[in-house]
A = this chain, B = another copy of it.
Amino acid sequence: MFAPPIQRLIAEFAKLPGVGQRTAQRLALHVLRGTDADAASLAAAIAEVKAQVRPCEICFDLTDQVRCRICEDPRRDATTLCVVEDPADVISLERTHEFHGRYHVLGGALSPLDGVDPEDLRLPELYRRLRGSEVRELIVATNPTTSGEATALHIARELRGVAPQVRVTRLAAGLSVGADLEYTDEVTLGRALLGRREL
């Protein structure tokens, strides 16, 4: 058995997602082998992130200000809003350089079995934000999973009452770029067929 402080650190690392006992042990021994300064800066970064980061008051993306950089950027198109589940999804969409509107981060997807109901997400805030706004299109970019689809359908239905002027769209489903038909699952391939486009 390792000395108690090492055991404690292994236990802490093992709480992280995707980190098992073996990986946690490797990380802990790495920290021990490293310099004191390296360990101190890791510990400080963890403490600081919790102290300094909060949700943007408009879109609920993570920020170290009151409002995030995208909400504060006057060049972003205020007529198009993209709804995502998590802050990481904002980063993924920004990497495409194809979207120039603003975001709304739900903080998850509907999943009644896991106890995630509409009031657990930033849905009331979304409807309040849309009511009487200049938004013309709402791109619901929740994941193409059961709960992501359920969330998208829920939003589309609610919006008919709350903000009927808003067009609700969904990201296309289909083949991954560079993929092989032979190895594409039948559901995705079916969606690719249904969504086929004229050349």
Contact = CB atoms under 8 A, between A and B. Distances in A.
A94 interface: yes
Given A41-B12, A42-B12, A50 B31 contact: yes
A76 interface: no
Contact of A26 (B12, B28, B88): B88
Copies in the complex: 2
B16 A30 contact: yes
Interface in A69-95: 69, 86-88, 91, 94
B31 A46 contact: yes
Contacts of A2: 62, 87, 91
A12 B11 CA distance: 19
A40 interface: yes
B88 A29 contact: yes
Contacts of A46: 9, 12, 31, 39, 42-43, 46
Contacts of A42: 12-13, 15, 46
Given A29-B87, A62-B2, A86-B29, A47 B40 contact: yes
Interface in A28-56: 28-32, 36, 38-50, 52-53
A132 interface: no
A8 B41 CA distance: 9
A18 interface: yes
9 contacts: A2-B91, A5-B49, A5-B52, A5-B53, A15-B38, A18-B26, A31-B46, A39-B50, A43-B43
Given A6-B64, A16-B27, A32-B62, 13 more contacts: A3-B65, A12-B46, A17-B27, A25-B91, A28-B49, A29-B86, A29-B87, A29-B88, A31-B50, A39-B50, A42-B46, A43-B46, A43-B47
Q: Which 10 A-B pairs have the closest CB atoms?
A: A3-B64, A43-B43, A9-B45, A43-B46, A12-B45, A5-B52, A39-B50, A9-B49, A12-B42, A5-B49
